[in-house]
Amino acid sequence: MPVDLFTEKIDQNKSIEPRDPMPDDYRYHLIRQISQHAHSEVIGMQPEGNWITRAPSLRSKMILLAKIQDEGGHGLYLYSAAETLGISREEMIEQLQTGKARYSNIFNYPALTWADIGAIGWLVDGAAIVNQVMLQRTSYGPYARAMVRICKEESFHQRQGYEIMAKMAAGTPEQHEMAQDALNRWWAPALMMFGPPDAESLHSKKAFQWKIKRESNDALRQKFIDKTVQQTEVIGLKIPDPGLRFNEETGHYETSPLNWDEFYRVINGNGPCNRQRIEHHKKVHAEGQWVREAAAAYAEKLRTGVLEQ
Amino acid sequence: MTKKDALFQYCLRLGDDAVVLGHRLAELCSRGPFLEEDLALTNIALDLTGQAQLFFLYAAELDNKGQSADDLVYRRPERQFYNHLLCEQPNTDFGYTIVRQFLFSAYHCFLLEDLCTSQDEHLADISKKALKESRYHLSHATDWMVRLGQGTKESKQRAQQALDALWMYTGELFEMDDIDLQLLEANVAADLHTIRNMWQQEIAQTLKRAGLQQPEDNFMQTGSRKGVHTEHLGHLLAEMQSLVRAYPEAAW
Ligand SMILES: [Fe+2]
Ligand SMILES: [Fe+2]
Ligand SMILES: [Fe+2]
């Protein structure tokens, strides 16, 4: 395989397209990353979907419905981008359901109050944006282009989530408490969305060489922290970290070490919602089997002329 | 009853249909048979919720008790909801979801079409906007009726079962009471008898294409005009109104 062509393109910062030669490792790395990203969008519909039927106003219900639809749409773009690498959506779903493919660990945490809908938009979508801005320049063309569309919508979600938090923080004492409680629970998991510290990160080295990844986990995490601490102060909430301090010399906020044991425990299956999320996905997929079969049978009847029009 | 009061009540009915059916569809978020259809169903939920908001904003304006559109949705008791019983029926399976949508959207399109020429301009404006969306809902549901009816043995059987079960809620769509008559007189409301004929033709045509059997018009359920519902609505409202009722002082 003319891998030299591939290396040349990478060196020149040209994007790799589906028909270009590419090393198998590159292809597998991308399939793993893009499908994981697609699954995250789709699984993420569950915790937010958990609050659609209890959204407290027509406006907030519509915003949430539209947001979750966007996330499903992101899942679609990303499945399509992964398909250009030679894997089908069915295979990807199979990998998700058998635990071979992962989704973002953040969705193994529960959405317990309406403030969680604010916290998810503000922090989870906020962290996703920091990651994804970098991915708009990732070396694989279809992935980079999907990210450009996705990033625009994610910033909407982030603002809408922040608005919910701001409103609740300024609301009744109970609302304020709910907002602070949601921040307390989502803060550390959101910081862990950037992945383990650079020193421990398994997949990072090659991803840098291939220009799939362009900034380190810790650098991205720091960006997110700096931005979020300030936003938190503005709405009168507190970052749940007694060790938080501003370092005048570096111009960055410093935080306490994160509990990575918890991260690994959750990511390996023992979080509050791991089982629930996958069971939900499997159940719905199984219930939809007859519908997909009907659609396929009907399409086949049209194709073979058994039915008209 | 003054014309304003009648119109207020009329808007509540229109809004209640949209908000309740929209809610049922919203329950299906992350539960579609495949991702594209999941999005299509929640998109209809979103449209209907948006339509509901327009009807309730207008209702709130007509009402002089200082209630907001959200108050009308989130603080009104079950016995004062006037949506058709069809709209509150649960998402038993995808067959029920589609049949319910098909029966309702066909009615909704003809109704909104008629209301586009209402003497009440505001009502006509809302109807024009809503009609575009509801036409899409009908075509989506119609496509699925045919797909299910002509798909597999199982899909046909499930669609037929849903149709048989939901049919008894269709008679109510065309009931007219004093409010309808009063507003019809003023060229504000729609004549549901005319709409019924068009609806029947539309339904018959699609069922024929789908190879499904039209159920007989036997016993028809009734009650929504008086706010008497099936047991399902109370649960739906309990969930939908839970936050507002738990924290009545809070604004969201
Ligand atoms: Fe997304
Ligand atoms: Fe995302
Ligand atoms: Fe998002």
Burial B164-189 (b: 16+ CB within 10 A, else e): ebbbbbbbbbbeeeebbebbeeeebb
Residue B103 placed within a domain: yes
pLDDT band at A214 (very low <50, low <70, confident <90, very high): confident
- pLDDT at position A206: 85
Burial grade of B162 (CB within 10 A; 0-12, 13-18, 19 or more): buried
Q: Indicate whether B92 belongs to any domain.
A: yes
Angle between helices B3-26 and A58-83 (to 10 degrees): 30
In tens, the pLDDT along B188-221 reads: 999 999 999 999 999 999 999 999 999 999 999 9
Sign of the alpha-carbon torsion through A132, A134, A138, A141: positive
DSSP tag of B168: G
Closest alpha carbon within chain B to A306: B150
Environment class of A188 (CB within 10 Å of its CB; exposed 0-12, middle 13-18, buried 19+) = middle
The residues, ordered by sequence, that sit 6+ positions from B158 with a Cβ below 8 Å of its Cβ are A290, B93, B94, B95, B148
Task: For residue A309, give both structure tokens.
Answer: 């029009």
Partner-chain residue, chosen from B27, B32, B49, that has the shortest CB–CB distance to A58: B49
Let me know if residue B252 belongs to a domain. Answer: no
CA–CA dist B62, B13 (Å, integer): 14
Backbone angle region of A87, left / alpha / beta, with phi > 0 → left and psi within -120 to 50 → alpha: beta
- φ, ψ for residue A146, nearest 5 deg: -60, -40
Name the DSSP class of A13.
T
Is residue A1's pLDDT more than 60? no
Q: Tell me the pLDDT of chain B averaged across its residues.
A: 97
Min Cα separation B206/chain A (Å) = 14
Determine, yes or no, domain membership for B251.
no
ipTM: 0.97
Mean pLDDT for chain A overall: 95
What's the rounded Cα separation, in Å, for the pair B22 and B52? 9
CA of A289 to the centre of ligand 1 (A): 26
Cβ distance of A65 and B46 shorter than 8 Å = yes
DSSP assignment string, A93-154: HHHHHTTSS---GGGGS---SHHHHHHIIIIIIHHHHHHHHHHTT-SBHHHHHHHHHHHHHH
Closest partner residue to A171 among B148, B244, B250, by Cβ? B250
Q: Do B251 and A284 touch (CB under 8 A)?
A: no
- Is B218 contained in some domain? yes
Helices (H), chain B: 3-26, 35-62, 69-74, 85-88, 94-115, 121-150, 153-166, 178-185, 192-210, 232-240, 242-246
At A199, the pLDDT band (50, 70, 90 cuts) reads confident
Rounded CA-CA distance B42/B23 in Å is: 9
How many domains is chain B partitioned into structurally?
1
Across the interface, of B19, B31, B242, the residue whose CB is closest to A284 is: B31
Average pLDDT over residues A31-54: 97
* Residues on chain A touching B33 (C-beta within 8 angstroms): 284, 287-289, 291-292
Instruction: Select from A60, A290, A301, A303 the residue whose CB has the most chain B CBs within 10 Å, as the one to mutate to test that interface.
Output: A290
Structure confidence at residue A212 as a pLDDT band (50, 70, 90): confident
- Determine, for residues B32 and A49 on separate chains, whether the beta-carbon distance falls below 8 Å: no
Other CB atoms within 10 A of residue A275 CB: 12
How many whole angstroms separate alpha carbon B140 and alpha carbon B131? 14
Out of A56, A66, A168, closest to residue B46 by CB = A66
Distances B17 to A110, B52, B77 between C-alpha atoms, Å? 32, 8, 15
Residue ranges making up the domain that contains B194:
3-246
* Contact (Cβ atoms closer than 8 angstroms) between residue A114 and residue A56: yes
Tokens coding A249? 């010399």
| pLDDT of A309 higher than 90 | no
Cβ–Cβ under 8 Å, residues A254 and A247: yes
CA distances from B52 to A74, B23, B137 (A): 28, 11, 15
What's the CATH number where B207 sits? 1.20.1260.10
Cα distance between residue A64 and residue A121, in whole Å? 10
A35 alpha carbon – ligand 1 mean position (Å) = 13
Give the integer Cα–Cα distance in Å for A241 and A253: 11
Find the closest chain A residue to B20 by CA distance: A53
pLDDT tens across B42-89, in order? Answer: 999 999 999 999 999 999 999 978 899 999 999 999 999 999 999 999
Separation CA B6–CA B182 (nearest Å): 8
Does the pLDDT value for residue A200 go beyond 60?
yes
Cα B187 to ligand 2 centroid, rounded to whole Å: 51
pLDDT tens digits for range A77-131: 999 999 999 999 999 999 999 999 999 999 999 999 999 999 999 999 999 999 9
Query: What confidence score (pLDDT) does residue A2 get?
Result: 59
Whole-number pLDDT of residue B43: 98
Across chain A, how many H-helices and E-strands are there?
14, 2
Residue whose tokens read 């909801």:
B81
Give CA B209 to chain center in angstroms. 24
The pLDDT, as a whole number, for residue A203 is 65
In a domain, B208, yes or no: yes
Per-residue pLDDT, A307: 85
Place of tokens 């893009």: A34
Q: Among A72-86, A193-207, A286-300, B49-63, whose mean pLDDT is lowest?
A: A193-207
Q: Which of A133-142, A195-204, A266-275 has the lowest mean pLDDT?
A: A195-204
State the pLDDT at residue B67: 94
Report CA A285 to chain centroid distance, whole Å: 21
- Tell me what percent of the residues of chain B surpass a pLDDT of 70: 100
- Phi–psi pair at A247, nearest 5 degrees: -95, 110
Residues with CB under 5 A from ligand 3 (ion): A 125, 154, 157
Hey, what amino acid is at A292? R
Q: Model-level pTM?
A: 0.96
Q: List C-alpha distances in Å: B112 to A152, B76, B115, B124, B189.
A: 35, 25, 5, 8, 10
The Å distance, Cα A153 to ligand 3 centre, comes to 7
Residue B142 distance to chain A (closest CA, Å): 13
Distances A107 to A42, A46, A125, A168, A183 between C-alpha atoms, Å: 10, 8, 12, 23, 15
What are A245's strand-pairing partners? A254
Q: Give A75's contacts (C-beta < 8 A, 6+ positions apart).
A: A38, A39, A41, A42, A45, B35
Name the maximum alpha-carbon separation found in chain A.
76
In a domain, B39, yes or no: yes
In a domain, B87, yes or no: yes
DSSP 3-state assignment of B170? Answer: coil
